[in-house]
Structure 1
Amino acid sequence: MAVEKTPDPTADEAQLAEQQPLEEAKKSFWATLMPVVACGAGLFSDGYINNVIGSVVTILAIQYTDVWKTSNAKHYLGDIAFAGTVVGQLVFGYLSDKWSRMNSLLLSTVILLVFTALTAGSYYHGDAVGMFNMLTAWRFFVGIGIGGEYPAGSVGAAESTSELKSGTRNMWFILFTNTMIDWGFVVGAFVPYVVAAACHNTHLSTIWRVSLAIGAVFPAVLLVMRFFVGEPEEFQKHSLKHVRTPYLLVAKFYGLRLLTVSLIWFIYDFSAYSFGIYSSTILANIFDTSTAPLTTIFGWNTVINLFYIPGTMLGAPLSDRVGPRRALAGGVLLQAVVGFVMAGCYGRLARPEMVGAFTTVYGIFLSLGELGAGNNIGLLAAKTCATGVRGQYYGVAAAVGKIGAFVGTWVFPYIIAAGGDSETLSAQYPFWVSGSLCVLSAVLVLVGLPEVGQDTIALEDARFRAYLEANGFDTRQMGLGRGEEVEEGEKAEKTEEKVEAKAEGKTEGGE
């Protein structure tokens, strides 16, 4: 059998770069970037759809008043997508490994497109409560579509970055994954503002339905783009699509690392809920939220969401310069410091005359969150395991993160309530907790996760193959096409070796 042409797992990254196929250099920059865009940019829909629902709930509360207050949908509409997202992350994590990266991505895009459109058209025989229930049901399925974007899209984007210029790969991954989520949040706040302005703060049903319907435009555009993108090269080479996955060996090799990534993601999403309490404080210091027109509420909501952008945009190249491990740890430590300062000085900052200073510090706090965990936790999840199980590994970690967000929405009200009648203590406690969890995240990432460089994916694939082979697993079928036998693969390798030998003037005798 011919010697397999897998990068030496002990090679440094300079040596590995020399092993890259020459034909990759012939591709234009846009040709190599387009698969990253097509795979990762779907997370824009995650940010948009999750943020726009806040504006929708605001409108429904105004439009239906007492009917809305007494409905069960009031308690579940905003959170039901979390449950769907967890289901989508787990299901599509498996499908992206055992079926197809791109087919899984196309399926999740169709689900997202169809059910986002259905949310905009929610109706039940003219009954408001029935309409609330239909809207909630459709939101669950929208969550499944969003969940599929995480393992299918993000791992495809990570694998596609291997063809980009070394020294920029982490940046491009971040710009078309987490940065897309953050821009989705901004646009998800801005679109209701524009629609409300166009409707002169009237025609409430039109405002929330149009705002939801616009969310279907983005997956529709991506659906067209994704039809022209093939499977990532790493997946073609190293997938376990046609061989039984050795889950026991995988658990022994990656179990502790997956637990660490999942805990960090859980903590990040769990804590993120507490960040929102300050946005309501800022708004309350600027205007009366109970009587202000929708355009005022939505306009300031857009401004607050813009705080995420500097952190994710400036932090993207930082992850290439210092590595995502250090960028994450440094970002959350700085965020902890700012969070502790905000909590300690809350009594002086949370006054109308201090709204400018308060807003500035709050913006720095949000930006540091994106520079650290926001940018890098998905990157670490995508690049700290081998291609054959990357979708499931990423899907589990992302699902644990979403569970953390859901738990946070239920736990933090109790933390706030612990402050009793003191408004200051009620606002301080969540940030003491969040700051402490940021420090814990930094410790976990520094102790439990490896360095991630430019060629980590290729090196990790080689390391995983060597481990499987050392434990008696036949790796020769990894990455082979449907119906292709191992013997046929060996013949192809021998033929390739003969061609190479002849080209070098080293024709083997007797063959």
Structure 2
Amino acid sequence: MSSEDSTDGKRNMQEKTVGVSAETHANALRAEAHSMTTRESLSMYFTIAAAAFGLISDGYQNNLMTMANVVFAKLYPKEYIGSVPTRVSNSLLVGAIIGQIFVGLICDRIGRKVALVSTTLLIVLGATLGTAAHGAHGSVQGLFWFLTVARGITGVGVGGEYPASSTSASEAANEKTVKYRGPVFIMVTNFVLSFGGPLAVAVFLIVLSAAGEDHLSTVWRVCFGIGILLPLTVLGFRLRMLSSKLYKKGAIKHRVPYYLVVKRYWKSLIGTCGAWFLYDFVTFPNGVFSGTIISSVIKNADIKKTAEWQLLLGIIALPGVFVGAWLCNSLGRRNTMMLGFSGYLVFGLIIGCAYDQITKIIPLFVIFYGLMQSFGNMGPGDMLGLVSAESYATPVRGTCYGISAALGKTGAAVGTQAFTPIQIHLGKKWTFIVAALCGITGILVTYFFVPDMTGIDLADEDAKFMKYLAENGWEGEIGEEDDKNLIVNRHEEELEGKGVEYAKGY
């Protein structure tokens, strides 16, 4: 080996063993969190926009089965009964749970870009398979098993999009504007997710009008096929995106101290996981089966009329998103979420206790039903993603967000599975009374366990988290690329004695 090679090797070894105290790292992080080059600044804007386009695809996929359930019930009245509708609908949820947990880990351990590109490709693959679904030898049950698998693959991508897009959007919004991080985050996450409902129904109505009710097989396949195009709109950017400064300086990709993470964030995890479980337990089955509920209330209604009422329901639910975005700063994250859960309590009891009377007046029923969902959007719908992104430090944000969202989708799966038995054994009104019970439980969980990070810079929590790790004896490599350093919990003299370079600044 030449002397020049030897010198380069020693230099590389030194670069890999630069020691930085937690205090030094915290100070540098706060100082540099909002300083960006022009390219970095543009990338943050596009990251926020790409999150919106990616999550509108999620919203579309989440609501695709609303009218598809009505179509399948008409096309296959003898086969699409019992557990079959639940299985096809729940397959997306099961896939989403898997995606949220594993992609959440990928977000933190490998990188935001890898996670985002992976979720996009999985949604495209699953949507393509769903569009082309057929049963062997024309088997109807084979068709529904094919759809179950295809929707499951789509679900992994859809679920992974939650932690991947939301963590990226929250960090990008924080770097551009801490004050308006909440409203910006809500508009590019929950608004587009909620807009996916009316969008799916509007697309269905357009395709139905073009193809006619005599070609329902064409209608549902075209609607599934449009789900392929939406995620492709952001693939090109995601292949070129930059990581946020918070992630580049704070990522922990090796020796993640999960015990210390749980010790610090156990209370927040109970809050975000518990509240998300309750919210999705109510909102998801009421979304998936709302078309079925409306068609059962309207006498002798055709598919188009059911879809029109369904579209109105989705539109009534949307204003809650804007109200939540408006209140999240002035009222605070936690109080806004509690106010939203109270809507489940009030409107759930009104509809449930007066179900037989209200369902005789269809417009009144749809308005009350829409207001219940609007309060859900305003409170937990807007706030859960926001508080799950704000409550945890950058090195574990994707993981903790993914766990919280996965518990939410578990609630959705349980709620979807329980929806039909509740209707059959207790009566249709009890689906709304159960929503009211979830509302009051959600208020209590939010009050006691959900932190309020209104107006707090995410860089501050990152700095506190690094100090906490150092105080508890953790040492390890943080950051990526040129921002990689070694957090150490020793004095400068000790490090110099061991031949380790000590960096007092970046």
Q: How far apart in 2 are the matches of 1:455 and 1:199?
A: 52
Within a 5 Å distance, the mapping from 1:207-246 to structure 2 comes to 207-241=219-253, 243-246=254-257
Match of 1:375? Answer: 382
Q: How far apart in 2 are the matches of 1:155 and 1:115?
A: 23
Q: Could you tell me how far 1:307 is from its partner in structure 2?
A: 2.1
Per-residue deviation, residues 130-158 of structure 1 (Å, max 9, x unmatched): 33322221111111111110111111111
Q: CA 1:467–1:23 in structure 2 vs 1: closer, same or farther (change >3 Å)?
A: closer
Q: CA 1:434–1:7 in structure 2 vs 1: closer, same or farther (change >3 Å)?
A: farther
Tell me which amino acid in the other structure corresponds to 2:26: T
Within a 5 Å distance, the mapping from 1:144-293 to structure 2 comes to 144-241=156-253, 243-273=254-284, 275=286, 280=292, 282-289=294-301, 292=302
Q: Does 1:78 align with 2:89?
A: yes
Q: How far apart in 1 are the matches of 2:246 and 2:436?
A: 38
Within a 5 Å distance, the mapping from 1:62-73 to structure 2 comes to 62-69=74-81, 73=84
Match of 2:350? Answer: 341
Q: CA 1:317–1:20 in structure 2 vs 1: closer, same or farther (change >3 Å)?
A: farther
Tell me which amino acid in the other structure corresponds to 2:363: G
Gaps of 5+ in 2: 1-18, 487-494
Equivalent residues of 1:115, 1:139 under 8 A apart: yes
Tell me which amino acid in the other structure corresponds to 1:260: G
Per-residue deviation, residues 189-212 of structure 1 (Å, max 9, x unmatched): 111111110012222221111110
Q: Secondary structure at the match of 2:95?
A: helix
Equivalent residues of 2:323, 2:378 under 8 A apart: yes
Q: How far apart in 2 are the matches of 1:58 and 1:26?
A: 50
Per-residue deviation, residues 19-50 of structure 1 (Å, max 9, x unmatched): 46674497898764321121354221222112
Match of 1:387? Answer: 394
Within a 5 Å distance, the mapping from 1:87-126 to structure 2 comes to 87-126=98-137
Match of 2:407 among 400, 406, 410: 400
Q: Could you tell me how far 1:376 is from its partner in structure 2?
A: 0.5
Equivalent residues of 1:283, 1:300 under 8 A apart: no
Per-residue deviation, residues 207-231 of structure 1 (Å, max 9, x unmatched): 1111100001110001123223211
Match of 1:329? Answer: 338
Equivalent residues of 1:274, 1:434 under 8 A apart: no
Equivalent residues of 2:87, 2:148 under 8 A apart: yes
Match of 2:71? Answer: 59
Tell me which amino acid in the other structure corresponds to 2:351: M
Q: How far apart in 2 are the matches of 1:429 and 1:57?
A: 21
Q: CA 1:204–1:433 in structure 2 vs 1: closer, same or farther (change >3 Å)?
A: closer
Q: CA 1:109–1:281 in structure 2 vs 1: closer, same or farther (change >3 Å)?
A: closer
Q: How far apart in 2 are the matches of 1:68 and 1:357?
A: 30
Equivalent residues of 2:260, 2:469 under 8 A apart: yes
Q: How far apart in 1 are the matches of 2:51 and 2:502?
A: 31
Deviates more, 1:260-269 or 1:276-285: 276-285
Q: Secondary structure at the match of 2:233?
A: helix
Q: Could you tell me how far 1:394 is from its partner in structure 2?
A: 0.8
Match of 1:357 among 351, 358, 364: 364
Match of 2:152? Answer: 140
Percent identity (aligned): 28
Q: TM-score, normalised by structure 1?
A: 0.85
Equivalent residues of 2:66, 2:290 under 8 A apart: no
Tell me which amino acid in the other structure corresponds to 2:234: L
Match of 1:422? Answer: none
Match of 2:312? Answer: 303
Match of 2:491? Answer: none
Equivalent residues of 2:69, 2:292 under 8 A apart: no
Equivalent residues of 2:321, 2:382 under 8 A apart: yes
Match of 1:478? Answer: 478
Tell me which amino acid in the other structure corresponds to 2:479: G
- What's the Cα RMSD here? 2.9
Match of 1:503? Answer: none
Q: Secondary structure at the match of 2:171?
A: helix
Deviates more, 1:144-153 or 1:25-34: 25-34
Q: How far apart in 2 are the matches of 1:466 and 1:494?
A: 15
Q: Could you tell me how far 1:6 is from its partner in structure 2?
A: 1.9
Q: Could you tell me how far 1:458 is from its partner in structure 2?
A: 1.5
Deviates more, 1:120-129 or 1:99-108: 120-129
